[in-house]
Structure 1
Amino acid sequence: MTNKSKVSAPPLDHPRSPSLQLPQGSCDAHCHIFGPFDRYPLPDERSFTPSPAPESALRRWHERFGFERCVIVQSQGHGYDHRPLLDALRAGAGRYRGVALVRPDDTAAMLESYHEAGVRGARFHFLAHLGGRPDLDTIRNVAARIGPLGWHLAIHVAGNDIVEYSGFIEALDLPVVIDHMARPDISTGPDGDAMTALKRLLDTGRVWVKLSGADRLSQTGAPFHDALPFARSLAAHAPERVVWGSDWPHVNLHAPMPDDGDLTDLIADIVPDETRRRLLLVDNPARLFGFR
């Protein structure tokens, strides 16, 4: 496990307002919340210690930027304590959807309660600092349990893991969402093995990808233009199966905290065409996450 004594930096207090005007109904399809810690204490078994980033703070910057919907992803920071997520989903009154951390022994009643609150997916990490690679049979077990609920399976990989696990992912009999463009090594270029494997998975028609994490891919820093060829290539390859996410509040970074104004303005560079931008921000998330 990661050393919990090091606290992840907080997001910027005052991100600049983006120049891009978002279409009505825009969705931030990947963000997290943490706290308030006096109400939702952090578990001892967490893999990192986040700074406070409650739903109220998330809502404030979304409202200022023009995001009307979002998908809140349960994080290793709160582990399997889903109370912050579930309470946020209820507070969102239909504007939020969630992605949970699910174990094979979670009861059917628990999964039904998650679904009623607005959860629409289960996530698995393959990264060492988030607990390492999970057992594949565990993922298959969870996939079989969430499939009848109409959920997707979210996969968080990095480097060439998407190549190694592409056969496993293709064999899963439910929608699969790849987080953060599969976090390829940016030095390999947008035509490298990882991107080629990801595009082949997109061609199955059951795999989606989040055009999030440009700041995590970038080697040059803000405004993260070196990550643009990757995001543009994926958006052009499967415009009907891409969504965008901020990854707020940007935990576990080894670089300066990104400005969400920069990340939001990057959307216009990723998808210059307004029709396809509406697909990315409105129509695709509505279809994938079940917004009405």
Structure 2
Amino acid sequence: MITRRSLLKSLPIMGVAAGLTAKMGWAAAISSDNFKTQQKFIPPKGSCDCHVHVFDPAHFPFAEDRVYTPENAPISDLERHLKELHMDRVVLIQPSPYGTDNRCMLNALQILGKHKARGVAVVDDEVSAEILHQLHKQGVRGLRLNMEARAGGKLSAEESASYLKKMAAKISSLGWHLQIYTNLKVIAALSSTLRQLPVPVVIDHLGKLKAEEGVQQPGFSELLALLDSGNVYVKLSALYRVTKDTSWQNVRPFIDALVAHKSDRLIWASDWPHTMPAPGKKRTREGIEYFYPVDDISILNVFGEWLPSEKIRQEIFVNNPTRLYWAR
């Protein structure tokens, strides 16, 4: 059977593939098929891609109340992605189309093995200690909190702080962290709470900064200050979410500032397989939302240019992920 994926792979010229994609109404080639750049930067041995997803609806159905329906991203695609980027380890993040059903992510952890893979789960607010302990045994080391989706992103600072404290208390004895997806404005409003939580906090995707607005934009100085607490990490990931410039160069001032401030609280991730709707398209659970086309190797290459020393590369790609995900 000829599939969209196999057909794209058979086309030798990217322009032909792009033309056929548009003609047949496909949004884009999947990101694991979108390596157009020659890899110049090989990350250190033991490097970890700290944010990926796996989608396998044939074996693990999506949640009925999901916002969108992604295409398949099986473990075999993930393994190819890691091999291409020379990543020896990976952190699987529970994606929103699965809701609190973590079985697909846990299955991937079991197949990949705990020496290579760890997980970050999504759970019900009233999750029991017993379930959390079971997740720990299966390789989970954090909880993902999507502050953008919760109550439509309209929680007050007081409500958000209460929620963070509640979930942090549930996981503090396990040595886990909270992974938070939100924007710089919310991060700034919650900075006092984030400093005082009894668990580490990982800020997703550069705090959703806006590269075009520069390093003086509101909230970025607060993000830098949070690194000083020793309790907060920033994930250097999803550059395509913070800029429209695919040379990525307008993100460099932010990376430079973060690295200069506290490189031992930064981790790197690809955000594979790039779940984002095409420009101007609204998300819907009807039909399939194809993955956004991102050349992950081009992003990895610029980090090779931006990170000034082997010591800092070792911290960001190896040591910091080890501390967060493999120390316990």
2:84 aligns with 64
- Structure number with greater Rg is 2
Q: How far off its partner does 1:12 sit?
A: 4.5
Task: State the alpha-carbon separation in 1 of the partners of residues 267 and 175 from structure 2.
Answer: 18
Say whether 1:205 aligns with 2:225.
no
Say whether 1:284 aligns with 2:320.
yes
Task: State the alpha-carbon separation in 1 of the partners of residues 327 and 305 from structure 2.
Answer: 26
1:3 aligns with none
Mapped contact 1:120–1:152 kept (Cα < 8 A): yes
1:13 aligns with 33
Q: How far off its partner does 1:254 sit?
A: 4.2
Say whether 1:48 aligns with 2:73.
no
1:163 aligns with 188
Q: TM-score, normalised by structure 2?
A: 0.81
Task: State the alpha-carbon separation in 2 of the partners of residues 9 and 137 from structure 1.
Answer: 41
Task: State the alpha-carbon separation in 2 of the partners of residues 178 and 166 from structure 1.
Answer: 11
Q: How far off its partner does 1:136 sit?
A: 3.9
Q: How many residues are aligned here?
A: 285
Task: State the alpha-carbon separation in 1 of the partners of residues 150 and 226 from structure 2.
Answer: 26
Task: State the alpha-carbon separation in 2 of the partners of residues 89 and 212 from structure 1.
Answer: 21
1:236 aligns with 260
Q: How far off its partner does 1:291 sit?
A: 5.8
Mapped contact 2:210–2:243 kept (Cα < 8 A): no
Q: How far off its partner does 1:159 sit?
A: 4.3
Q: Name the amino acid aligned to 1:42.
A: F
Task: State the alpha-carbon separation in 2 of the partners of residues 254 and 167 from structure 1.
Answer: 36
Higher mean alpha-carbon deviation, 123-132 vs 200-209, is at 123-132
Q: How far off its partner does 1:129 sit?
A: 9.2
Higher mean alpha-carbon deviation, 182-191 vs 282-291, is at 182-191
Q: What SS does the corresponding residue of 1:238 show, helix, strand or coil?
A: helix
Q: Name the amino acid aligned to 1:277.
A: R
Q: Label 1:151 to 1:128 Cα distance change in 2 as closer, same or farther (>3 A).
A: closer
Q: What SS does the corresponding residue of 1:243 show, helix, strand or coil?
A: strand
Say whether 1:265 aligns with 2:301.
yes
Task: State the alpha-carbon separation in 1 of the partners of residues 144 and 27 from structure 2.
Answer: 23
2:54 aligns with 33
Say whether 1:246 aligns with 2:282.
no
Q: Which has the higher contact order (CA 8 A, sep 6+)?
A: 2
Q: Name the amino acid aligned to 1:154.
A: Q
Q: How far off its partner does 1:165 sit?
A: 1.9
Q: How far off its partner does 1:11 sit?
A: 2.3
